[in-house]
Structure 1
Amino acid sequence: MILPGATLGVLGGGQLGRMFTLAAHSMGYKVWVLDPDPDSPTGSMADRHLQAAYNDTAALDEMASGCAAVTTEFENVPAETLEFLEARIPVRPGSKAVAIARDRIREKSFIRDLGLPTADFFAINSAADLEQACAGLTMPALLKTAQFGYDGKGQIGVNDLAQARLAFDDLNEAPCVLEECVQLEQELSVILARGTDGQTAVYPPGENLHVKGILDTTCVPGRFDDDVAASARYMALKLANAMDYRGVLAVEFFITTDGRLLINEMAPRPHNSGHYTIDACLTSQFEQQVRTVCGLPPGSTRLLSAAVMVNVLGDLWSKGPPRWQHLFAETHTNLHLYGKEEARPGRKMGHFTSLADDPTEAMRIAERVRVAIDPAAPDEA
């Protein structure tokens, strides 16, 4: 076990790294972050900010020498970086698991090979693959880049082969998956933490709502049947065990209108839909990340309150300063801002979480807060 007083490293300086750093500090650890951005949200919180590229060998050598273990806050760190570090110190999750989760072709193939359900898809490595893929799927479909896609980026809807060819050209003919669109009833996610001895702690599945490809709200407990929740937990655990995973893993699911539960994708890190755990659970997903990277057993995932998490995007600032005084007037709502200087449309600037005795009341409070903080809302809001 790596105990308090040690220094931990995190690759990536966004809001997830920032919240990891806050959790690590509260537990008595120091944190170094490697991120090329001088204004990274994590850099301002960490004990040391190594401002360098992820493939900077000198910076990686320094991190390996100064840190007891390393984790990541996003999956697009170069594989060579993870391999370089894990030859020297513990890296959790490891490069093999991250390599699966970061590439949609490998990820979906891995899930399918385990016998777990996904939407029908074809791997697209060249334009020549499109004809067979379009013939084998029921249109419409989504063409998604295999790597570097998030929050709806790197994907284009298509209705036929001609559109698929144009979309593939628009995506610079990068490797992609062509995935059949499904009729959605609900979306949900499972967050789990798996330790070095395989001990696993699973959070209650959250019900998610996306707007324009970006997560808008997560509601816990999710408003779906118990058997759906149990199936989602089973599938997430099967994935984690098959990868011999070490760390925090998020698995996103679709519930279709005909009642199927399908795996959409997974993330080898804490996840936006798990932010509610900071305020509503005995152990947050970020404390779990600290625990698993340090070889400690996962903490309890006990839900202390129903909760609704709402993302706060940069669009809100375009109308003027958010009216935070109305949020603070709600005694059952907590605000978390990420320290980002520039508010841009679609950029995640923070989130708030509303707590209540049941999810319906938590959602009512959250929606009231959403309206009240809007600078364009009437004063009586």
Structure 2
Amino acid sequence: MATTKTNTAPIAPGACIGILGGGQLGRMTAIAAVEMGYRCLILEPQEGCPASHVADHIAGAYEDEAVLARFAEACDVVTLEFENVPVDALKFLEERVPVRPGSHALKIAQDRILEKQFLNDAGIGTAPWAEITDEQSLKDAIDRIGIPSVLKTARFGYDGKGQVMLKPGSDPSKAWEDLGRVRCILEGFVDFDCEVSVITARSANGTVKAFPVVMNEHRDHILYKTHAPADLPTSTAKAAEDIADKAIEALDLTGLLAVEMFACRDGSVLVNEVAPRPHNSGHWSIDACMTSQFQQLVRAVCGLPLGSTEILRPAEMTNLLGNEIDDWAAFLAEPNAQLHLYGKAEAKPGRKMGHVTRLK
């Protein structure tokens, strides 16, 4: 699906792309940008972050306006690689340089309640949900939604952090206590057949183009494998792509939007969550697609023509967590495998240290 709006002057190669965040997503975005002739500047508090190995780096706080002003002065356009940048930082930057995606999309993506409400208002289905602010609202939500369900913090949860599954016999009050008695969301259990995702891009000139639907496997709430393309009925795959395109248009977002969804047993597709950035489930595209998700992000934020999202070969991407990267030599010996390591200094259990993509 592709639509086009009023053209915007492109930002040509040679310009500087600012990236908020210095993790592996920023690293792979910078690599793609440099290959296309751009310079990159990373703003990330941590010295020696993965992206700093491949691009210039300012080690400063996102809340420091002097640092932000220096960053904006050096950049022709700014994008981000993760959601936990303060919205006020983007608002400050937006007054000085194009920021894509902007503060509006980030504000919604940072808050599960705002996110669910926005999606529902746009006519996009999700699991049943309710906002939790105290014990009475939790009790009322359970009465309405039922158990099993999932209690999640409204903000700052990822890879299974900040959430508790409520099962028959669970103590909801203790679950909320364990999450810090902060504002939460209760989400109803979804009877799904598989978890899928779509990454779609929207250029500064309004063109929208989605990557094919992929199927995801998780272990302990962390993405383990992605299969591209997903083995789905054509109608289900089209529904998922249409949902992703509808969401990025509704957000008026320039850049990438990753939409994680449940393909349900009744044939419906429901959105779990969205992320306005490159996504772990799109890493396969580096080796198996005409255009990688990272190159597509560069194209989108710079107002260039979006690349083809054609799959060249089916692929399976596997995350390498913690000490699994110790097997790097074995991965390199596989004839159909491509190894990507992120340059992180310390391997910790559950930490994403790299990935391997196997072409089929």
Give the TM-score range, shorter chain.
Answer: over 0.9
Aligned to 1:265: 273
User: Deviation string for 1:40-86 (max 9, x for gaps)?
Assistant: 1011211x211111111111000111100100000110000000001
Point out the more displaced range, 203-212 or 122-131. 122-131
Unaligned stretches of 5+ in structure 1?
357-381
**RCO higher in structure (CA 8 A, sep ≥6):** 2
1:235-254 matches, within 5 Å, as 235-254=243-262
1:16-27 matches, within 5 Å, as 16-27=25-36
Aligned to 2:350: 346
User: Deviation string for 1:348-371 (max 9, x for gaps)?
Assistant: 000010112xxxxxxxxxxxxxxx
Q: Kindly state the Cα deviation for residue 329 of structure 1 after the two structures are TM-superposed.
A: 2.2
Q: 2:138, 2:333 → 1: CA distance?
A: 54
User: Does the Cα contact within 8 Å between 1:188 and 1:253 map onto a contact in 2?
Assistant: yes
Aligned to 1:373: none
Task: Give 1:13's match in structure 2, choosing from 8, 15, 22.
Answer: 22
Letter in 2 for 1:35: E
Aligned to 1:312: 320
Aligned to 1:221: 229
Q: Kindly state the Cα deviation for residue 16 of structure 1 after the two structures are TM-superposed.
A: 0.1
Task: Give 2:138's match in structure 1, choosing from 111, 130, 138.
Answer: 130
Q: 1:258, 1:231 → 2: CA distance?
A: 13
Q: Kindly state the Cα deviation for residue 162 of structure 1 after the two structures are TM-superposed.
A: 6.7
Task: Name the TM-score, length of structure 1 as normaliser.
Answer: 0.90
Residues 283 and 162 of structure 1, relative CA distance in 2, 3 Å threshold = closer
Aligned to 2:213: 205
Letter in 1 for 2:51: T
Query: Over the residues paired in the alignment, what is the CA RMSD in angstroms?
Result: 1.3
Q: 1:127, 1:138 → 2: CA distance?
A: 15
User: Does the Cα contact within 8 Å between 1:8 and 1:31 map onto a contact in 2?
Assistant: yes
Task: Give 2:44's match in structure 1, choosing from 21, 35, 38.
Answer: 35
User: What is the DSSP-based 3-state SS (H/G/I as helix, E as strand, rest coil) of the residue aligned with 2:136?
Assistant: helix
Q: 1:297, 1:155 → 2: CA distance?
A: 40
Aligned to 2:329: 325
Point out the more displaced range, 124-133 or 207-216. 124-133
Q: 1:66, 1:115 → 2: CA distance?
A: 40
User: Does the Cα contact within 8 Å between 2:317 and 2:356 map onto a contact in 1?
Assistant: yes
User: What is the DSSP-based 3-state SS (H/G/I as helix, E as strand, rest coil) of the residue aligned with 2:51?
Assistant: coil
Letter in 2 for 1:109: Q
User: Deviation string for 1:115-144 (max 9, x for gaps)?
Assistant: 221111101123331111010012111001
User: Does the Cα contact within 8 Å between 2:209 and 2:245 map onto a contact in 1?
Assistant: no
Q: How many pairs were matched up? A: 351
Residues 129 and 160 of structure 1, relative CA distance in 2, 3 Å threshold = farther
User: Does the Cα contact within 8 Å between 2:236 and 2:268 map onto a contact in 1?
Assistant: no
Q: Kindly state the Cα deviation for residue 97 of structure 1 after the two structures are TM-superposed.
A: 0.9
Task: Name the TM-score, length of structure 2 as normaliser.
Answer: 0.95
Q: Does 2:58 match 1:50?
A: yes
User: Does the Cα contact within 8 Å between 1:134 and 1:160 map onto a contact in 2?
Assistant: no
Q: Kindly state the Cα deviation for residue 182 of structure 1 after the two structures are TM-superposed.
A: 1.8
Letter in 2 for 1:291: R
Task: Give 2:340's match in structure 1, choosing from 322, 336, 339.
Answer: 336
User: What is the DSSP-based 3-state SS (H/G/I as helix, E as strand, rest coil) of the residue aligned with 2:52?
Assistant: coil
Q: 2:169, 2:153 → 1: CA distance?
A: 17
Q: 2:252, 2:28 → 1: CA distance?
A: 25
Sequence identity (%):
49
User: What is the DSSP-based 3-state SS (H/G/I as helix, E as strand, rest coil) of the residue aligned with 2:252?
Assistant: coil
Q: 1:76, 1:341 → 2: CA distance?
A: 22
